Structure 1
Amino acid sequence: MIDTVVAPPASEGESQRGFLFALSAYFLWGLLPFFLKAVAHIPATEVVAHRVLWSVPVAGVVLLLLRRTAELKRAMGSPRTLMMAAATAAIITLNWGIYAWAIATDRALDTALGYYINPLVSIAMAAVLLREKLSRLQIAAVALAAFAVLVLTVEGGGVPWISLVLAFSFAIYGFFRKTLPIGPSQGFFLEVLIMSIPALAYIFWLQWTGQGHFRLDQPGNLALLVACGPASAVPLLLYAFGAKLLRYATIGIMQYIAPSMVFLIAVFIFKEPFSSERAVAFALIWMALALYTWPMLRALRVRAAR
Structure 2
Amino acid sequence: MSAPEDERPKSQSGSPTSDERIGLTAGVAAYVIWGAFPIFFHSLEPTSALEILAHRIVWTGVFLAIVLQITGRWGWVGELRADPAKLRRAWLAGLLISINWLTYVWAVGADRVLDASLGYFINPLLSVVLGVALLGEGIRRLQVLALTIGAVAVVVLSVGYGEFPIVGIVLALSFGFYGYLKKGMELDGLASLAAETSIVWPIAVIGLAVAFATGSSTFGHDNVGLNLRLLAAGPITAVPLALFGVAAPRLTLVTVGILQYITPMAQFFLGWWVFHEEMPPERLAGFALVWLALVILTADAVATIRRNRSVRPDAAATSARGEGRAPARR
TM-score of the superposed pair, with normalisation by structure 1? 0.87
Q: What percent of counterpart residues are identical?
A: 33
Question: In structure 2, what is the equivalent of residue 297 of structure 1?
Answer: 302
CA contact (8 A) 2:59 2:234 kept: yes
Q: What's the offset of the Cα at 1:61? A: 3.7
Question: In structure 2, what is the equivalent of residue 148 of structure 1?
Answer: 153
CA contact (8 A) 2:29 2:240 kept: yes
Alignment RMSD (CA, Å): 2.7
Which one of the candidate residues 222, 228, 238 is aligned to 1:223? 228
CA contact (8 A) 1:7 1:243 kept: no
Q: CA separation in 1, counterparts of 2:85 and 2:17?
A: 39
Higher relative contact order (CA 8 A, sep 6+): 1
Task: Say whether residues 1:256 and 2:272 are aligned partners.
Answer: no
CA contact (8 A) 2:96 2:174 kept: yes
Give, as a single letter, the amino acid of the residue that structure 2 aligns with 1:46: E
Higher mean alpha-carbon deviation, 216-225 vs 60-69, is at 60-69
SS at match of 2:278: coil
Question: In structure 2, what is the equivalent of residue 200 of structure 1?
Answer: 205
Question: In structure 1, what is the equivalent of residue 35 of structure 2?
Answer: 30
Structure 1 gaps of 5+ residues are 1-5
Deviations along 1:71-127, one digit per CA (max 9) or x if unpaired, are 332214555543432222111101100000001111000111111101212322444
Higher mean alpha-carbon deviation, 235-244 vs 37-46, is at 235-244
Question: In structure 2, what is the equivalent of residue 161 of structure 1?
Answer: 166
Q: How does 1:76-91 map to 2 (within 5 A)?
A: 76=81, 78-91=83-96
Higher mean alpha-carbon deviation, 65-74 vs 146-155, is at 65-74
Q: CA separation in 2, counterparts of 1:121 and 1:16?
A: 24
CA contact (8 A) 1:249 1:300 kept: no
TM-score of the superposed pair, with normalisation by structure 2? 0.81
SS at match of 1:68: coil
Question: In structure 2, what is the equivalent of residue 56 of structure 1?
Answer: 61
Higher mean alpha-carbon deviation, 132-141 vs 292-301, is at 292-301
Deviations along 1:229-272, one digit per CA (max 9) or x if unpaired, are 11110111123334556566544322211111111111111111
Q: What's the offset of the Cα at 1:222? A: 1.4
CA contact (8 A) 1:151 1:281 kept: yes
Q: What's the offset of the Cα at 1:55? A: 0.8
Which one of the candidate residues 38, 46, 59 is aligned to 1:41? 46
Q: What's the offset of the Cα at 1:158? A: 1.2
CA contact (8 A) 1:15 1:245 kept: yes
Structure 2 gaps of 5+ residues are 1-6, 314-330
Which one of the candidate residues 130, 137, 148 is aligned to 2:142? 137
CA contact (8 A) 2:183 2:249 kept: no
Question: In structure 1, what is the equivalent of residue 112 of structure 2?
Answer: 107
SS at match of 2:185: coil
Give, as a single letter, the amino acid of the residue that structure 1 aligns with 2:195: L
